[in-house]
A and B are shown apart, each in its own frame.
Chain A
Amino acid sequence: MVRRIFPWLLLPMGITSLYLAFVVAPPEATMADRQRIMYFHVASAWNAYLSFLVVFVASIAYLRTGARRWDRTAFCSAELGVFFTSIALVSGMVWGRSVWGKWWVWEPRLTTTLLLWFIYVGYLLLRATGEGDERRARMAAGLGVIGFVDVPIVHMSVKWWNSYHPYVIGLTKVDMVPMMVVALVAAVLTFTVFYVYMLDLRLHMEHLRERTQILKENLLQGGMR
């Protein structure tokens, strides 16, 4: 269902939010057009957090039920999460460079996002090198739970650590006029639908891969007999 309808939704939604972000929304008072990167940067970051929340929920569900479906969901969502985190990081760095003049600032949100990237790349590595299908799924679920629980603690501690620095760069407040809010909401909505669509595609692909694997094993066993 999602696979049939969502692309037709995504096409107009994406074009509308691009139009809102680039043409309708006015340039920001101090940052001018540089601020426009925010719409899709925030949307990517939102998707990243959403993906990791899904990993967390699916991991708990897997540990409780042991259904392969949940393990697959956690895995695919983690992949997408790393993808969107990368986009958020790169666009964040471009933003930092153009607004603060630095490619990297040790700002809590940026730093937490970078750590998220590391945690879930580690998660994918754990999955890539894990032994035994079921055991690997359980270990990954363990990391999926603890990794997400750690996020607010990391954020708080980085924030606190940062508050000791006299040169803290005040988060340049963006004066959002109503049209900017509309553009931002549109971008976030589009990206959310995009995430659901990509997750569905990726899950289906993973499902097919597993079926092919089983088929292959059956064929090999038949050949050996």
Chain B
Amino acid sequence: MAPLPLSTLKWLFFGYAVIWAGIVLFLMNMGRRQERLERQLDDLERSLKR
């Protein structure tokens, strides 16, 4: 099998890089949502104690 031309490889790299960025951003967003949830839980627990 002949090696792929460099331009094809660059496009492949570019495609995967976009997918990767999407994954990381998705997880970051999830982390942010978790922190919001944590704050809500803190509030609820405090109000229940009273």
Contact = CB atoms under 8 A, between A and B. Distances in A.
A218 interface: yes
A201 B34 contact: yes
A23 B34 CA distance: 37
Interface string A5-36: 00100110011001101110001000111100
A68 interface: no
Contacts, number: 70
Contact of A205 (B6, B12, B34): B34
Nearest to B29: A7
A32 B27 contact: no
Interface string B19-47: 01100110110110011011001001100
Contacts of B50: none
A219 interface: yes
A31 B3 CA distance: 9
B27 A198 contact: yes
Contacts of A32: 1-4
Contact of B34 (A14, A197, A204, A219): A204
Interface residues of A, number: 27
A163 interface: no
A135 to B, nearest CB: 27
B13 A22 contact: yes
A60 B8 CA distance: 49
A204 B38 CA distance: 9
Contact of B24 (A7, A18, A208): A7
A157 interface: no
Contacts of A215: 41, 44-45, 48
A212 B4 CA distance: 53
A208 B1 contact: no
B27 A7 contact: yes
B48 A208 contact: no
Given A33-B4, A201-B31, A205-B34, A19 B41 contact: no
Contacts of A11: 20-21, 24
21 contacts: A3-B34, A7-B25, A7-B28, A14-B24, A19-B17, A21-B13, A22-B9, A22-B16, A23-B10, A27-B3, A27-B4, A33-B1, A33-B3, A33-B4, A197-B27, A201-B30, A204-B34, A205-B34, A208-B37, A208-B38, A212-B41
Interface of B: 1-4, 6, 9-10, 12-13, 16-17, 20-21, 24-25, 27-28, 30-31, 34-35, 37-38, 41, 44-45, 48
